């Protein structure tokens, strides 16, 4: 069991759209033998029907809406990659996925540097002390000076960096990288189809001059001296404590620098870590199985109306058909066809270990954050809901289908597609999202999966804040004063719908004992 835990690496790749996350994922799968030819997943036509694009709507839009899981064996390691939706309107989905990983690889476009989405996702990593490795991609293109890039990453992502490889020129002049971690030189040969053979040369030998010329050899040695001078020596513990981010350079498209990244990653990245539950810290080595649901996807197969709940195994061994307790429902469940995920297919498994993600067929039993145990009353923490950015009233467009609509809304909210608030003043339902696209997804899915039509009505709100106070009297007074703007979330918690920043600030000033939270986990 200990060996199984130790060899697992569960992580997510995050980036701003277009930095190269999909391409890098595909190259990693190539090394894992999950696909034969690089380009197989990525070629544009296939991309639209690739494994992670499960929902019809994704096919239509060509964006990855859902989060899927890919697993493969590499050397002695079992690698679990949790894919995340690229589109920023589904950021909430990505936040939740980050609760199920033990580490993260951040892809940065070498020409564009740190972009908005990356900054936001890094915030979540920081909140959770998740170790990160940075891959600076697209070195085959003209980009920015590597030292500048590293400065920007430190400043923008608020983390210290340590380059473990170093690029020799870039763009058309790109010659390769010096792998500081292994002390070897990798020469660049553009190739989209095959895994590039490495040429390995000692940095101090004259062969360096033979390979990249005198001028570049000299520059490289100077650069490396500077790197050693500027950046502290790499200490894997600092990385594991999420205090320092190792950085690699490469070109995912050309399959360059990817294997170096993977080789280093499997060695230094953490195996499953202890997880904090409300009741206690859960250690992966604990004998008894525990796990939590961090993601639910519906209708992977449009022919069967089924959901899959993604469960992260936190401790013990998960066994097919064994009785497990669904803590929120207090009932015992058995899973006869749990699945694991490969790049192109999924298959039934008999057992799973901490770090693994299993897919549990679901017919509406699960909600995001649900815990499964061998009987223990346990509640995992750390699945926050963030205040949505956009709000709309949802209205029934077909009075004959009220039941279907309500059921659809309920299930979609269980999946975590968006957040539902009920205004306490007028009883109207409000849907809160991160972006416009989510409204479209909800409308589409209600119609296609539940046969219910909905209509959106505009609602201008600034933020939803979860409120609490030790001072019951003041809390009541506040609710009375703001009765038109008070709502309940699905757990029945009080939520204040602030229609402007000004109103929120005034409220905070007038009601000092009340805490206004922008996430629901407090
Ligand atoms: P994403 O998942 O982060 O959104 O990015 P994705 O991998 O889809 O890559 C975005 C674009 O960047 C793709 O081009 C991809 O081919 C390109 N790309 C990825 N890695 C590299 C690299 O190392 N060098 C260069 N030059 N380009 C890279 P596209 O035109 O959008 O798609 P396609 O037509 O190439 O499939």
Residue 22 Cβ < 6 Å to ligand 1: yes
Report which of residues 94 and 317 the model is more confident about: 317
Lowest average pLDDT, out of 97-101, 129-133, 151-155, goes to 97-101
Ligand 1 closest atom vs CA 43: 36
Residue nearest atom 4 of ligand 1, based on CA coordinates:
18
Most confident segment among 40-44, 252-256, 293-297, 389-393 = 389-393
Residue 137 near ligand 1, beta carbon < 6 Å: yes
Question: pLDDT value at position 80?
Answer: 92
pLDDT at 51: 40
* β-strand pairing of 8-15 with 77-82: parallel
- Give me the pLDDT at residue 47, please: 41
Instruction: Supply φ then ψ for residue 209, to 5 degrees.
Output: -60, -40
Q: Is 84 in the pocket of ligand 1 (CB under 6 A)?
A: no
Answer positive or negative: Cα dihedral of 494, 498, 499, 503. positive
Helix (H) or strand (E) holding 56: helix 56-61
Non-local CB neighbours of 168 within 8 Å, separated by 6+ positions: 174, 175, 176, 177, 178, 212, 216, 219, 220
* SS3 assignment, position 358: strand
The least confident of 43-57, 255-269, 429-443 is 43-57
Phi-psi region of 161 (alpha: psi -120 to 50; beta: other; left: phi over 0): beta
Residue 493 predicted with pLDDT over 90: yes
Query: Is the Cβ–Cβ distance between 99 and 69 less than 8 Å?
Result: no
Q: How far is the CA of 255 from the centre of ligand 1 (A)?
A: 12
Q: Which is the closest atom of ligand 1 to the Cα of 24?
A: 7
Which residue's C-alpha comes closest to atom 16 of ligand 1? 253
Could you tell me which residue, 393 or 49, shows the higher pLDDT? 393
Bind-site residues for GTP: 15-22, 83-87, 137-140
Measured CA to CA, the distance from residue 475 to residue 496 in angstroms comes to 11
Atom 32 in ligand 1: residue holding the nearest Cα? 44
Query: Which residues are annotated binding-site positions?
Result: 15-22, 83-87, 137-140
> CB of 412 closer than 6 A to ligand 1?
no
In this predicted structure, what is the pLDDT of residue 269?
96
Atom of ligand 1 lying closest to residue 64 CA:
2
86: pLDDT strictly greater than 90: no
Q: At what angle do helices 116-127 and 146-157 cross, to 10 degrees?
A: 50
Which of 50, 81, 85, 253 should be mutated for ligand 1, with most atoms under 8 A from CB? 253
Q: How many CA atoms lie within 13 A of 147 on its CB side?
A: 11
pLDDT tens profile 38-48: 444 443 333 43
SS (H, E, C) 97-114: HHCCCCEEEEEEECCCEC
Share of the chain above pLDDT 70, in %: 87
Nearest 5°: phi and psi at 182? -100, -10
pLDDT one-digit tens code per residue, 192-201: 555 555 667 7
79 CB within 6 A, ligand 1: no
Ligand 1 centroid to Cα of residue 24, in Å, is 9
Q: Is the minimum distance from the CB of 141 to ligand 1 under 6 angstroms?
A: yes
| pLDDT on residue 239 | 96
Provide the pLDDT for residue 50: 40
Using the mean position of ligand 1's atoms as its centre, give its distance from the Cα of residue 193 in Å.
15
Q: How high is the pLDDT of residue 272?
A: 96
Q: Classify 476 as helix, strand or coil.
A: helix
pLDDT for residue 65:
44
Confidence band, pLDDT 50/70/90 cuts, at residue 155 = very high
Q: Look at ligand 1, atom 6, and give the residue with the nearest C-alpha.
A: 20
CA-closest residue to ligand 1 atom 14: 18
Question: 382, 376, 380: which is closest to 287 by C-alpha?
Answer: 376
CB 199 within 8 A of CB 186: yes
Find the 313 Cα to ligand 1 centroid distance in Å.
33
In this prediction, what percent of the chain has a pLDDT beyond 90?
Answer: 55
Reported as a single tens digit per residue, the pLDDT across 384-437 is 777 888 999 999 999 899 999 999 999 888 888 899 999 999 999 999 998 888
Which atom of ligand 1 has the smallest separation from the CA of 15?
3
Tell me the per-residue pLDDT of 56-79, one tens digit each, with 9 for 90 and over. 555 554 444 454 788 888 999 999
Helix axes 146-157, 214-230, angle to 10 degrees: 20
Least confident segment among 118-132, 329-343, 423-437, 457-471:
329-343
- What is the value of ipTM here, to two decimals? 0.97
Average pLDDT, integer, range 202-224: 87
Q: Name the burial class of residue 160, with classes exposed (0-12), middle (13-18) and buried (19+) by CB atoms within 10 angstroms of its CB.
A: middle
Query: Sorting pLDDT into bands at 50, 70 and 90, what band is 35?
Result: low
Quote the mean pLDDT of the chain.
86
Q: Which atom of ligand 1 is nearest to the CA of 19?
A: 3
What does R_g of the chain's alpha carbons equal in angstroms?
25
DSSP structural state of residue 197: P
Strand partners, 307: 298, 362
Determine the atom of ligand 1 nearest the C-alpha atom of 86. Answer: 4
**Cα 48 to ligand 1 centre (Å):** 14
């Amino acid at each position: 069991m200990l060996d199984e835990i130790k060899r697992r690496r569960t992580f997510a790749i995050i980036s701003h759209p277009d930095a190269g996350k999909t391409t890098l994922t595909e190259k990693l799968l190539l090394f894992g033998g999950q696909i034969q030819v690089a380009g197989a997943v990525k070629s544009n036509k296939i991309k639209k029907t690739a494994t992670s694009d499960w929902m019809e709507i994704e096919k239509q839009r060509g964006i990855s809406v859902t989060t899927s899981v890919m697993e493969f064996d590499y050397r002695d390691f079992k690698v679990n990659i949790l894919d995340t939706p690229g589109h920023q309107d589904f950021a909430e989905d990505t936040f939740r996925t980050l609760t199920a990983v033990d580490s993260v690889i951040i892809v940065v476009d070498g020409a564009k540097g740190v972009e908005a989405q990356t900054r936001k996702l890094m915030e979540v990593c920081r909140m959770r002390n998740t170790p990160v490795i940075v891959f600076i991609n697209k070195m085959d293109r003209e980009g920015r000076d590597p030292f500048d890039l590293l400065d920007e990453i430190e400043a923008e992502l608020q983390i210290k960096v340590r380059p473990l490889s170093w690029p020799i020129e870039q763009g058309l002049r790109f010659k390769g990288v010096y792998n500081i971690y292994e002390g070897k030189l990798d020469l660049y040969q553009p190739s989209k189809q095959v895994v590039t053979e490495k040429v390995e040369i000692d940095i101090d030998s004259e062969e360096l001059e033979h390979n990249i010329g005198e001028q570049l050899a000299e520059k490289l040695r100077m650069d490396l001296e500077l790197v050693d001078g500027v950046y502290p020596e790499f200490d894997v513990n600092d990385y594991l404590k999420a205090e320092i981010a190792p950085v690699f350079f490469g070109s995912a498209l050309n399959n360059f620098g990817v294997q170096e990244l993977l080789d280093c990653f499997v060695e230094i990245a953490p195996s499953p870590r202890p997880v904090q539950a409300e009741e206690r810290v859960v250690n992966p080595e604990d004998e008894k199985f525990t796990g939590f649901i961090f993601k639910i996807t519906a209708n992977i197969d449009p022919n069967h109306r089924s959901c899959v709940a993604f469960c992260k195994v936190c401790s013990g061994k998960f066994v097919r058909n064994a009785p497990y307790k669904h803590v929120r429902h207090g009932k015992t469940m058995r899973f006869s066809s749990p699945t694991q995920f490969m790049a192109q297919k999924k298959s039934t498994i008999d057992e799973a270990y901490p770090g693994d993600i299993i897919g549990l067929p679901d017919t509406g039993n699960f909600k995001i954050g649900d815990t499964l145990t061998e009987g223990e009353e346990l509640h995992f923490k750390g699945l926050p809901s963030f205040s949505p950015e956009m709000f709309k009233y949802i209205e029934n467009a077909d009075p004959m289908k009220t039941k279907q609509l309500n059921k659809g809304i309920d299930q979609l909210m269980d999946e975590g597609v968006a957040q539902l608030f009920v205004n306490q003043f007028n009883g109207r339902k409000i849907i809160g999202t991160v972006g416009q696209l989510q409204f479209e997804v909800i409308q589409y899915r209600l119609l296609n999966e539940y046969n219910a039509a909905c209509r959106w009505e505009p609602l201008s709100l600034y933020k939803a804040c979860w409120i609490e106070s030790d001072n019951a009297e003041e809390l009541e007074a506040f609710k009375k004063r703001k009765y038109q703007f008070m709502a309940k979330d699905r757990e029945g918690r009080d939520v204040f719908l602030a229609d402007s920043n000004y109103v929120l600030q005034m409220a905070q000033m007038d009601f000092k004992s009340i805490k206004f939270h922008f996430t629901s986990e407090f």
